[in-house]
């Protein structure tokens, strides 16, 4: 029986921490869907299409991963994908309360769902999309925090030149 796991998020932008979780999930499950959320109520820096492009450009070499998008309840998306496995990244203790609350709600809405928590590599423990955007906005290089394609997209979005390529 094939196991499809769904890793949802806004990925605004995708970071090396996200990529680390995707790679770990790909080693654990037969198929991983990176599900980009389409939440019109949330002010995103990148459009859904741009975020999908970001993810696709980074996971193209992972044969058991692909990208999708969803709006509305995550559990409804899981059902359409015939998945009961949900991947969530836990960076620090501060993430735990929110993630446990969401896992409990998802289980109440979809009894069969199992949430699997994965910790990123220690170097990504305090990395967040918000911090990456702020660093780029202020003109610093983000190459240590995001894949090269994403760094280029961030520089374009914020009208920045990169004098610190690595």
Q: Verify whether residue 133 is a known catalytic residue.
A: no
- List the catalytic residue out of 27, 42, 138, 166: 42
- List the catalytic residue out of 91, 107, 137, 160: 91
- List the catalytic residue out of 24, 31, 51, 129: 129
- List the catalytic residue out of 18, 84, 88, 133: 18
Q: Verify whether residue 91 is a known catalytic residue.
A: yes
Cα–Cα distance between 165 and 22 in angstroms, integer?
25
For residue 141, give the nearest of 124, 122, 128, 160 by alpha carbon: 160
Q: Verify whether residue 79 is a known catalytic residue.
A: no
Q: Verify whether residue 18 is a known catalytic residue.
A: yes
Which three-class secondary structure string do you get for the chain? Answer: CCCEEEEEECCCCCCHHHHHHHHHHHHHCCEEEEEEECCCCCCCCCCHHHHHHHHHHHHCCCCCEEEEEECCCHHHHHHHCCCCEEEEECCCHHHHHHHHHHHHHHHHHCCCCEEEEECCCHHHCCCCHHHHHHHHHCCCCCCCCCCHHHHHHHHHHHCCCCCCCC
Q: Which residues are catalytic?
A: 18, 42, 91, 129
């Amino acid at each position: 029986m094939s196991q499809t796991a769904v890793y949802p998020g806004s990925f605004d932008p995708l970071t090396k921490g996200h990529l680390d979780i995707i790679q770990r999930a790909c080693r654990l499950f037969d198929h991983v869907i990176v599900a980009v959320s389409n939440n019109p109520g949330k002010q995103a820096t990148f459009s859904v299409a741009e975020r999908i492009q970001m993810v696709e450009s980074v996971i193209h070499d992972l044969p058991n991963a692909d990208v999708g998008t969803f709006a509305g309840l995550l559990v409804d998306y899981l059902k359409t994908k015939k998945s009961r496995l949900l991947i969530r990244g836990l960076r620090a203790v501060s993430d735990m309360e929110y993630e446990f609350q969401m896992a409990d709600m998802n289980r109440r809405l979809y009894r069969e769902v199992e949430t699997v928590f994965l910790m990123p590599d220690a170097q990504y423990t305090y990395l967040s999309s918000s911090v990456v955007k702020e660093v780029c906005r202020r003109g610093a290089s983000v190459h240590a925090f995001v894949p090269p394609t994403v760094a280029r997209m961030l520089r374009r979005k914020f009208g920045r030149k990169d004098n610190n390529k690595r």
